[in-house]
Amino acid sequence: CAWSGLDLQFSADERALFFASTMMNLRNGSTAYFLEDRWINGQSLREIALALYNCIPKRRRKIRTVAQGLQGHSC
């Protein structure tokens, strides 16, 4: 996205308002990250299964897309 390179800081309330008022369009899942993006009823796997998420090395969290994850591809 256009603003991804900016160092923007948001409060927890601001983030909650943003997530409550926006929606993700998954399409074929090729651009949504499996662990990081909010593609499951407005939540991410990170939010749903934090203990599992924390077991995954940071360098691998933004590699697998939803499309790859649902097809069972490994990174």
pLDDT, one tens digit per residue, over 20-68 is 888 778 889 898 999 989 999 888 998 999 999 999 999 888 898 999 9
Q: For residue 37, give both structure tokens.
A: 């993006």
Distance CA 10, CA 1 (A): 17
Residue 73: pLDDT band by 50, 70, 90 thresholds? low
Contact between 16 and 10 (Cβ < 8 Å): no
**Closest by CA position to 39, among listed 10, 2, 69:** 69
At residue 69 the predicted structure's pLDDT band, cuts being 50, 70 and 90, is confident
pLDDT number for residue 54 = 95
The confidence score (pLDDT) of residue 27 equals: 87
